[in-house]
Amino acid sequence: MAGRRWWHDDGIIRRVEDPEDYHNVIRNNATSNHVLVIKFFSEECYSCKTLYPVSKKCGIKDCMPNAKNFNISFNNVLQKLKKIAESTQGEVTFVKINGSDPQFQPIFQKAGITAVPWFHMYLQGKQEASLSASLNPERLQLFREQIDLLRCQADC
């Protein structure tokens, strides 16, 4: 796993490569009936790191060297987040944007992202929801309900 960073693609949530890719993702959403979920994160953000899987080949101390005790509740939230992404595949597109990359800083500023992790949800190219990603059980339920509401709107 040498050289692999924790924020690289995990197969469920695709990493946006550059600002043009970001704008294309939103443009493509404008012409579809799929919900788009954009996760804003930062490489330095501990909470962001805890929302990502740790593979068997990469121990917690290798991927997150500053982590003293990995909080199991974050791991449960991660699994639930991945289940949401997997269960809505084809109806909901998940992407993530790295705010540590200078090319995305203007996008973060324009989107009003002042804390990470953060989620924006789009339907037909229009931002419909903005949620902090401190996904405690109540926030996770709200996150799921918002996705379900937008999926329903897309089907109507």
- Edge-to-edge, what's the strand order for the sheet holding 118-123? 14-15, 92-98, 35-41, 118-123, 126-132
For residue 58, what pLDDT band results from cuts at 50, 70 and 90? Answer: very low
Do the domain assignments include residue 113? yes
- Is 43 contained in some domain? yes
Give the model's pLDDT for residue 30: 93
**pLDDT more than 70, % of the chain:** 65
pLDDT at residue 49 in the model = 63
Query: Quick check: 25 and 92 in contact, CB under 8 A?
Result: no
Arithmetic mean of pLDDT, 134-154:
80
Host domain of residue 82: 14-155
Number of domains in the chain: 1
In a domain, 5, yes or no: no
Output the domain CATH number for residue 95: 3.40.30.10
Residue 104 domain flag: yes
Q: State residue 92's pLDDT score.
A: 86
Per-residue pLDDT at 33 exceeds 90: no
pLDDT bracket for residue 38 (50, 70, 90) = very high
Placement of tokens 């953000």 in the chain: 45
Q: How many CB atoms lie within 10 A of CB 120?
A: 19
Exposed / middle / buried, residue 35 (Cβ in 10 Å: 0-12, 13-18, 19+): buried
pLDDT confidence band for 66 (50 / 70 / 90): very low
* Structural domain includes residue 80: yes
Q: What does the mean pLDDT of the chain come to?
A: 75
- Of 1-10, 16-25, 127-136, which one has max mean pLDDT? 16-25
pLDDT band at 122 (very low <50, low <70, confident <90, very high): very high
Q: Which range is least confidently modeled, 35-44, 56-65, 74-83, 130-139?
A: 56-65
Q: What backbone torsions phi and psi does residue 73 show, to the nearest 5 degrees?
A: -65, -35
User: Model confidence at 135, in pLDDT bands (50, 70, 90)?
Assistant: low
Query: Is residue 65 over pLDDT 50?
Result: no
Determine, yes or no, domain membership for 3: no
Q: Where are the beta strands (DSSP E) in the chain?
A: 14-15, 35-41, 92-98, 118-123, 126-132
